[in-house]
Every structure is written in C-alpha cells, then in structure tokens.
Structure 1
Amino acid sequence: MLFWIAAVLIAALGTLPVLAALFRSDGSREPAQDMAIYRDQLAEIDRDLARGVLTGDEAERTRAEVARRLLEADRRGVRQAHQAPRKVRLVAAGLVALAVMVGGVAIYWNQGAPGYPDLPLRARLADADAARAERLSQADAEARAQEIGALPDPVEPAPEFALLIDRLRSTMQDRPDDPQGLRLLAVNEARLGNFAAARDAQERLVALLGEETTAETHAFLGELMVMNAGGYVSPEAEAQFDAALAIDRSDTRALYFKGLSYLQTGRPDRAFAIWRPLLETAPADAAWVSAARAQIGEVAARAGIDYQAPSVAPGPTAEDMAAAAEMSPEARQEMIVGMVARLTERLATEGGPAPDWARLISALGVMGDTERAAAIYGEAQQVFGNQPADLALIEEAAAQAGVAR
C-alpha cells in the first residue's frame, strides 16, 4: 500500500508544471492601463523635445523604447483576449492530472510488476542457484546458438593452409587413435572457426587419454564447448573445467571459465571470488587473465564490492626489447629468443588472446625475422578474422614489424 501511495504522489507532482502553465499569470497590470501610460509617455517625449530638455537623438531612442513597450502591451492584450475562461482551464487541469496519474498507473501495470513481493538477498541467491542447476545442456545450448546465429562464420583459410588441414583430416580418418594428430586437428579446426569439429576432436583425445588427460587438455575441451555454444558455459563444459582444476588448481583457463559460469547464472559474488586471486597471483600474460581483468570491475560492482584491479606492467613490447640494448649481445639475444620460443609454442598448442599474437609479431620484427613475423601475421588474421577489435591490434603489431599488407 505504501508503494501505491508514493506512486500516486509522484504522479501528482508530475502534473504540477502543467497546472502552473494553465494558471500562470505574469502579475502585470491590465494591458489597457499600460498602453495608456505608454501613450502619455510618447506625448511627454514630444513636449520635452520642444522644451529642449531632450536632444533629437535622445528623444528618438526614448521614443523607440516606449513604442516597443507599447507594442508588447498590445500583444499581451491580444493573448489575454484569447485565453480560455477560468472554468475551462479548471476542467483542463483536472483532465491533465487524471491522465497523468491514470496513465502512469496503466503503464506500470503493463510494464512493471504489480503485486511483486520484496526479494531479499537470500531469496535471490536461492533463485540463482536453482537456475544454475536447471540451465541448458551442452546439446541444447549448441542448438540454440545455431538457431539464433550466435556462432561466427568459419574463416576461409589460405590455399596452403587449406591443403594442410585437408591432409590432416584425411590422416585422422586413417589414424583415429593418434593423440598428437587429434591435438593438431582440434587446434586448427578451432582456428578456422569450425568449433564443432574442434570439440569433436578434443573429446576423442580426452577419451583416448583417459586418466592421463592433463589439466590443459580438459580445459581446452571445455573452452571449445563454450565456443560452440556461443559463449555459454554448460554443465558439461563446467565439468571439464572442474576436471582441469582437480589436476591443477592454478589453471588460468579453467579458472576464468569457472568464474564465467557463475556470472552467467546470477552469482557475480562467486565469479569475483574466483577471478580476484586469478588476477592477483597469475602472471599478467597468462591465458585468459586479460579477459578476467576486463570484466572484474563490473563483476565487483554487481557483487556490491568496491574493488580496484591491481595494476600490472605490460608484457614485453618492441620498445621493451629495444631498451635491452644495455645488455650484452649474447644475453639480449638469448632473452629474446627464449621469450619468442615460449610464446610461439604456447600459441601453437593452446592458442591465446590477440595481445599475445601481437606481442609475438612485434618480437619477431625486432629480431629481424620478418618472414616468420609475416607467417604469424597471416595466421593471426585467420584466427581473429571475425573479431574487428582483436584484428586491429594484430594489424598494428604487423605495421610495427614492417609486415602489414
């Protein structure tokens, strides 16, 4: 009841500007009185001019001002002559007030939630947990993603790459139990945007490895399931992340998607509890840390937590490596080669976000290995062809390396 009283009072307050306009008065004298005064003033100006009290210029300026006021008084009289009678204005005011209040109630009744009870935090958390338990399965999520067009179009590979991937597919038909072949097939199908084929290959790999499956392999399968469901973390995908974390509690990919699963089911508090230590303990260039960093501010706000993500130093860039000139040539070369080798291996086996690809292209450009930089650039274009923001980052790195097309 208190809500409705407040709603009616607010609606009534909304009518006040309209009512004020209907009954507004400028508080001046009657226009006829003003016009008589201004005519007397015009006559007085002529008398003052004849007596020499005013000069010709002064009299002209004063006459123009009085004439302007006379015209305004005449216009005001016309407006008052056309003003509706007081009774009509009272009826109009009543209709306006009624329309505002009844219309506001009608809109709320249609668009709002009349009679909806208070929803305490405990009830909201219980509803979120119930929704989490009843969420879509992987199969249903994949079907929905296909239906609504949530999946990007597959990337058209370069002729050389298309020939290689066709050979790999053919080889895996003849050797379906080759774990290395399954790894390569899953990674390359994912790069082409063939997420269903990539997920199928990775599932076969997990089944083949059995208890020897690594945390990384479980987490990558979960990621492929998420990608093939249009970004949705299904119970089956979450089971893969849980399996990865049971093996390695610090697996950054699994931690990111575990937090995302809670965020998607209305539990930003649990997502924050997972992502905060991920940001504060994992290396800044670890997979998916940047994705968690980009979202944790909003997640913290939704969880009612005041949190500022710790600042991190950016990863090695072309300028950083150029600053290594103070090192001995051997040490500098060893540092750069080691970093490039580790980054190349990780991107080839695990993939990674666009900043990692851009860093690798820049590093190869600094090393003078433009041939490899151009090859990585071409591969990155295929991987991020459907992601304009990431592709722009890749293009910038390629331009710095001197291999942009």
Structure 2
Amino acid sequence: MTFWIIAFAIALLSAIPLALALRRAHGIGDVDSSTAEVEMKVYRDQLKEVDRDEARGVLSAEDAKRARIEVSRRLLDADKARASEKHGVRGAPIWAAAVLFAAVSGGALWLYNDLGAPGYEDLPLTHRIELAEEARANRPTQDAIEQMRPPSPPIMEPDERLTTLLVQLRDALTTRPDDLQGHILLARNEAVAGNYRAAYEAQKQVIRIKGPGATADDYADLADMMILAAGGFVSPEAEDALTKALQRDPQNGTAIYYSGLMFAQTGRPDMTFRLWQPLLSSSSAEDPWVMPIRQQIESVAQAAGIRYTLPPAPMAGGLRGPTQEDVEATADMTPEERQEMIRGMVEGLAARLANEGGSPEEWSRLISSLAMLGETERAKAIWGEAQVIFGATPEALAVVRQGAERAGLVE
C-alpha cells in the first residue's frame, strides 16, 4: 500500500505544474498586453506635455485642442486593444487539467503493470543472501538429481576394447577389494566411458583404501565424477568432496572452479566471481577450467553487479620468455651476442605482457630477467604495476613477489 501512495503522490506532483501551465494565460498575448500598457503611458505623458506647452505659450489654444483630441483618440484605441486582448487570452478549462492528471496517472499505472512487477516483494541484499542459503540447504541429493537429470556426455564413445577392459576390471576387483591401482584404473576408465556413477563409486574406494593419505586431487576427482553424473549440478555430496579437497589444498583448481559453480547455482554470483576471477588470472591455457570460466564469468559478474572486462585468452604452450635453458644455450656465443639474444627475449616478453597480459609466473620471470640485465629501475616499475594488477589476488601476487625477491627489490 505504501508503494501505491508514493506512486500516486509522484503522479500528482508531476501533473500539478502542467495543469497550472494550462490554466495560466500564456502566449503572445502577454507580450502585446504589456506593449499596450506602455503605449497608454506614453499617450498620457503626451497629454501632460501638451498642457505644459500651452501654458508656456509654445502652442496656441487651438493647436493644443487639436493635439489633445488626437492623443486622446490614440489613448482610447490603445485601451480598447488592451481590453480585447485580455478577453481573448484564456486559460484551459478545469476539466483539461483533470484529463491531464488522469492521463499521466493512468499511463504510469499501465506502464508499471506491463513492465514492472506489481506485488513483488522487495529483495534487499540480506534477504537475497538468506534465499541463497535456503536454496543451498534444500538442494536435491546426489541420488535425487541423477534421477531428474541425464548425465553429462561421455568423454569418448567406448569401443569394444574399453568395454572388455571394464568388464575384466570389475570382475577382478570383486575378489580384490583393496587393490588400489585397480580401483584407480577402474574409476578413470568408467569416467571415460561415461559411466560416471560407477566412476565415482570406484573413486570412493580409492579414497577408502588411501585413508588419511587421500590427496586433494583424489577428492576433487570424486566431486568431478559426481557432478558429471548429475549433469553438471553440484549436489551436497559433491560439495562435501570439494570441501575436503580444499582443506588439503586451498589452491586446487578443480575444487575452486566447482565451488564457484555451486555458488552460481544457488544464487550467489558474487561468491562465484570471488573464486573464479583469481583462478582465471593465475591459470595457464591448458588448465581444464579456463575455458568454462571464460564462457561464464562475464555473465556472473553482471549478475553480481560487478564491472568486469574479460582479459585476453592465455596462449597455449606454457610460459614464454627466457628460461634457464635458453640462457645455457648461449654458451658458445660471444658475451655481446649472448646479451643481445637475452635482451631480445626479455623485450618480447615485456611487449606481450603489456599488450595481452599474462600469468603471474610470466610477470615474475620478466622482473627477475630485467634485474639480471641491469635494468633495476625498469624492474621496479614493472613490480609496482604487477602489485596493482594482482593486488586483489594474494596468491598470484605471491608468485610475482618471488621474481621481485630474486631481483633484490624486496626482502
């Protein structure tokens, strides 16, 4: 009800000035009326001037009489013109103002009813977070979601040899339940064949056999297989596996990517962006999560109300720039040739990072390489630029800092 009262008040305040403008006399008549008043004042002054001239003897009585008659005639004409103009200029009738108010109010109501959401409750940030937490808590279980959704397509179509291998592995492991390598092989091949439920069941056995020695990758692989079995949905069971992976390795890329996906699915795009953006900036082109993140992160940022521009895609083939092997390969060159070759590689790396951006490792290598060439001031400038670029990502900045430490720029 409060909303409609406010909307009605706004419509009323919008219509009142327009209604007053319609009621008020307007147009050229106002200008003409003021002109007639000026003319009448001039004629009155002329009559007084005629009286003064007659008294001084400048005009004879006869001339003064004729002048008074002429000026009086003009004064009467001006007075008639003013009166007719005032009668001819009229404001709009009151019903026109009422029609205007009805049109403004009705049009606004129709537009809001057509484009808006009447009756939709407010969604402040705290309430949206509560709804997201509720959605996360009430997600379907792994078994329920597998019944509702088809699994993801297989990595490759299984051929006869793979099918035969899987049958043999399954039969063999029925009598060797603690065969670690057998279960690892079974989990991988079941996943390749698209049998994701069988794959994550085998992966559970791998974790059981390893016990406390199970790694972050083991749990991340388990979550990966469960999510693929659920058609891309992150179930509570898959989230539990992701949590255990991150407890063992907070930088596990697979676990970070799927954790972000889980937040996106439960209405927290802000948390998704907070996880994906640092991961993307510190990943290489070969990492499997880079492509799906690049395909989704801009829409995630928009949903979170964040301005974000997708950086250029990282180049495949690993880091580019001078490596220790590159330096050793120059052993047969003269010192001048060796220095020139190294400098060319460094300049190429610097130009690419300036134009395309790059990974923290590449920034680290550039800083240390410049220091090696004696360009300490330039290395300091690039270290300062890197702190701005990677300042929001402590993990990535720590990698760049290693190059600054090798260059002697920080202790």
Structure ID, larger Rg: 2
Q: Given the two structures, how large is their TM-score scaled by the length of structure 2?
A: 0.49
Q: Given the two structures, how large is their TM-score scaled by the length of structure 1?
A: 0.50
